[in-house]
Amino acid sequence: MAQEQYTEDNIRSLDWKEHIRLRPGMYIGKLGDGSSPDDGIYILLKEVIDNCIDEFVMGAGKIIEIRIKDKEVKVRDYGRGIPLGKVVDVVSKMNTGGKYDSRAFKKAVGLNGVGTKAVNALSSYFKVESIRDNQLKYAEFSLGELKTDAEIEETTKRKGTKVSFIPDEKIFKKYKYRNEYIIKMLKNYVYLNPGLTIDFNGEKYFSENGLKDLLNENIPDEDKLYPIIHLKGEDIEIAITHSKTQYSEEYHSFVNGQHTTQGGTHQAAYRESLVKTIREFFGKNYEASDIRKSIVTAIAIKVMEPIFESQTKTKLGSTDMGGELPTVRTYINDFVKTYLDNFLHKNPNIAEAIQQKIVQAERERKDLKGIRKLARDRAKKANLHNKKLRDCRVHLGDMKKERRLESTLFITEGDSASGSITKSRDVNTQAVFSLKGKPLNCYGMSKKVVYENEEFNLLQAALNIEEGTEHLRYNNIVIATDADVDGMHIRLLLLTFFLQFFPEVIKEGHLYILETPLFRVRNKKETIYCYSEEERVIALEKLKPKPEITRFKGLGEISPEEFVHFIGNDIRLDPVMLDKSISIEDLLSFYMGKNTPDRQEFIINNLKVELDEIVEY
C-alpha cells in the first residue's frame, strides 16, 4: 500500500468563518434542534444578549428588546452603540472588539472577541445596526460573507445596537426555539441585573430583589424550611434556603452575569465556605454532606477578565478576582464567613432550623450507611454480569471533554427494545439502560428504597447521581418506552422516581422523552414516518394510491436499520419541564397517590374531551 504524500499542498489556512462553520462545537458547544437548553441556537441568542448586558453593566441602556418570529431573532439594546467605523470589523474579524480594553469593559461577560462572529458565521442571514450621535450604520451578511456594507446615514432613532439573525438550517437541522428555555435565560439575566428590563415578544421581565427572586422562582414557599437568606457585597451576592422535601443540593452560580451551569472555581469555593462557616458557627465538625443536604442556593460574583473553560462559558476556570483583590477562593470564604455568620447570630430561629436539618440529615445518613454499602457491593457485582447498562465511549480519554454535552443514556424496557437501540446507537455518545419489567411506584417512599430496589440502585449508579447532578455521567437522559398503555405507565413510574428523589435532573434540563413514529407509510418510491394521526393523513394524501401502512406498537417492532434514523440526526426529543406554579408534592400526590376516584374522574373527563375532538375532526 503506497504511503500518502505529506507536502505543502496538504497545509491550508481557514479564514475565520470557515473555521467556525467547520468546528462549530468549539464556539457554541453542541448543535441540537432546540429541545435542550444548551443547544446551539440558544448559545447564539445568548452571545448577542451578553453584549447588551455588558452595555447595561457599564451604565448604558436599561431596556433590551428581543423578538423571535419565524426563526428570525432580533435583539435591540439602547446602549452606546458600536463605533460606526468598526461595525463590520467587530462582527467579522476575530480578535477584534472593545472588551480587550478593560477600561471600557471592566467586568464583561465576553472578553475573547468571538461571540457575534460565531453568530454571524452560523447564520444564513445576519444584520448588525449601530446608532450613535444621530447617525446609523448597518451591514448584512450571509454565512459570514459580507453582502451589504451600507454608508453612514442620518437618523432620529435612539442610540444603541440591533442585531438580527436566522440560524443556518444546514447546521441546526429542523430547529425550533422553545420559549420556556428562553424565558428562563432572560429571568436569570434580570435577577443578576436589578434595574434591567427585558422585553421578549411583548412580555416584560425585571427583578427588584436579585438572587432572592431567583430562589423564589425555583422553590415554592411551602417547601422552604426558612425564609431566604439574602446577602450582598460589592462583587458578590448569595441567596440561601433549605428544601423540606428535596434530597440533593441545588446550586445556581453566575460569573459576570453568565450562568455557569457546570460550576467552576467559584462554586467549589462557595460549597467549601458554607461548610466551614456552619461548622464554626455551631462549633461542631458536621459532615459536609449533612450540612449541604437539601440546600437550594445561588451565588453571583464579578471577576476582572474571567477565564472560562470553553467559549460557551459554562464553567469558571479563574482562580483570581483580578486587580489587587485576593483569589476567588479567599474572597468568597471571607465574605461568607463574615456575612453569613453575622446573619445567623442575628437570626437564631433560622440558625436553629438549619441545625435541626443537619441533625436530621446526619441521622438519615447513618440509617442508610449499611444499606448503601450493601447496595454498592451489589451494584458492582451485578455490573460484572448483567447487561443492563451498555455504556458509551464518551467517558474515555479526551472524548469525555469534547463530546460530554452529546452524551445520552436511553432508559428503555425489555430485551427487544433495548436490542434495537443498542444496535442502532452511536457507540461514542449513546448508552442504553434496560429495565426489567415495571419499576416500583416510589411516591411517598424514603430514599432507602433507591438502595433496596435493584432497578433504582443500578440506575442511580449508572447515572452517578447519588449526591446530585454535579458529576452526572450523561448530559441527556432519555426515557424510551413503547407507545402503549404499559409504555406510558413505565414512563410515569420513571418520572416519579426522578421527581421524588432527583428533581434537579429535570430542573436543570437533563430529562427527555424519546418520540418515535407511530406509523410507516410507504410506496415503492418513498417512505414517510409519521409521529401522529395528522401526519399519517398527510402522508396518505401525498403517497397516492394505496400505500402500505404499518402501525408500530413497540420499539422492538422497529428494525435497527430504521431505528438509526430516530436516534440519529433526526432524533425527536420532548423535554420534561416543570410548571413552577405546581408543587412537585401536589403533582405526585394527584397522579401517583392513593386518590384513585379523583384520577378516574380526571381520566374520564379528559378522555371525553379528546373523543369529542376526534369526532369533530
For the chain, what is the total number of helices (H) and then of strands (E)? 21, 23
pLDDT exceeds 90 at position 211: yes
- List the one residue out of 439, 289, 455 whose CA is nearest residue 357: 289
Three-state secondary structure of 287-330: CHHHHHCCEEEEEEECCCCCCECCCCCCCECCCECCCCCCEHHH
Query: Residue 19: which pLDDT band, with cuts at 50, 70 and 90?
Result: confident
Summarize pLDDT for 534-570 with one digit per residue, the tens.
Answer: 899 999 988 888 889 988 877 877 888 888 888 887 8
Q: Enumerate the β-bridge partners of residue 430.
A: 408
Does residue 198 sit in helix, strand or coil?
strand
Every domain of the chain and the residues it spans: 16-205, 211-364, 386-516+553-581, 519-551, 584-617
Q: Same topology for domains 16-205 and 386-516+553-581, yes or no? A: no
**What pLDDT sits at residue 342?**
96
Q: What is the pLDDT of residues 191-201, one digit of tens each?
A: 999 899 999 99
Confidence of residue 614 (pLDDT cuts 50, 70, 90): very low
d(CA 454, CA 457): 5
Q: Give the model's pLDDT for residue 554.
A: 78
Name the residue type at position 413: E
Please state which of the four CATH numbers 3.40.50.1980, 3.30.230.10, 3.30.2270.10, 3.30.420.10 is assigned to the domain occupying 211-364: 3.30.230.10
**Which residues are within 8 A (CB) of 168 and not within 5 positions of it... i.e. 6 or more apart?**
122, 123, 124, 143
User: 16-205 adopts what CATH topology?
Assistant: Heat Shock Protein 90 (3.30.565)
Which is more confident, 32 or 10?
32
Contact assessment for residue 258 and residue 108, using Cβ atoms and an 8 Å cutoff: no
In CATH terms, 386-516+553-581 corresponds, of 3.40.50.670, 3.30.420.40, 3.40.50.2000, 3.40.640.10, to: 3.40.50.670
* Helix (H) or strand (E) segment spanning residue 522: strand 519-522
- The pLDDT tens digits for 32-75 are 888 888 889 999 999 999 899 889 988 888 999 999 998 999 99
The three cell numbers of residue 290 are 449533612
Torsion angle defined by CA atoms of residues 608, 612, 615 and 617, in that order, rounded to the nearest 10 degrees: -130
pLDDT of 452 > 90? The answer is: no
**Dist. CA 302–CA 109, nearest whole Å:** 9
Predicted pLDDT of residue 443:
86
Under the banding of pLDDT at 50, 70 and 90, the label for residue 178 is very high
Mean pLDDT of the chain, nearest integer: 85
Query: Crossing angle for the helix pair 328-346 and 265-282, nearest 10 degrees?
Result: 40
